[in-house]
Amino acid sequence: MRLLLTAALLITLPLPSLAADWRRGDRIDVASIAQVIDGDTLRVIVKGETVNIRLHGIDAPEHGQTCGAVPCGTLATEHLVQLVNGTPEACRSNRMHGVCLRASYPLTCTVTDLDRKWNRPVAICLAGRTPVNEGMVRDGYAFAAYSDDYAPLFALARKGKRGLHGMGALQDRDSPAAFRRSR
């Protein structure tokens, strides 16, 4: 009986993963395949392992989130695909939402922190020379969040009615955090 309980406990424990090995300043180079999960999360293959990367300093509408009548989650996801300049690619897993793509140039991310809740690196990413995190906020498809790094860009995007702001979305009531709490 004790052996069965021990085996059951071991099965429920999370397996060690590459994500736990990431440290601030580490560089993640993605040569080809990535998946845009939503407007602030990428899934990439690194050293043969699948790694989810949370984009530092932003919070984009969740997959399936609407902001009034605006499908802000879908639009934020599509904008991130444009920023990483991806072309469609077959997904290996049909269980995941999001867009699989083949990047037209390498994606480079620098780890700023580790999201311990989801065991994933938090990073600032560049697609070629395009700053992805900054672009999501500057273009009006994400909130500046969790740091003040992009707060001035968010204010300018809101004032200039860029992206989702121009559609009446990205009001405080539309924050992804509020959406997550309402589920």
Q: Which residue has the higher pLDDT, 36 or 162?
A: 162
Residue range 155-182, pLDDT digits in tens: 999 999 999 999 998 888 888 888 888 8
Residue range 62-74, pLDDT digits in tens: 988 999 999 999 9
Of 16-20, 89-93, 131-135, 142-146, the range with the lowest mean pLDDT is 16-20
* Position 106 confidence tier, pLDDT thresholds 50, 70, 90: confident
pLDDT at 154 over 50: yes
Could you tell me what percent of the chain has a pLDDT over 90? Answer: 48
- In this prediction, residue 61 carries a pLDDT of 95
- In this prediction, residue 88 carries a pLDDT of 60
- In this prediction, residue 11 carries a pLDDT of 36
Structural domains of the chain in order of their starting residue, each with its CATH number: 16-182 (2.40.50.90)
Phi, psi values for residue 146, rounded to 5°: 70, -5
DSSP string, 100-155: EEEESS-EEEEEEEEETTTTEEEEEEEETTEEHHHHHHHTTSSEE-SSSTTHHHHH
pLDDT at 122 over 60: yes
Strands 49-55 and 120-127, how do they pair? parallel
CA proximity to 141, closest of 84, 182, 100, 97: 84
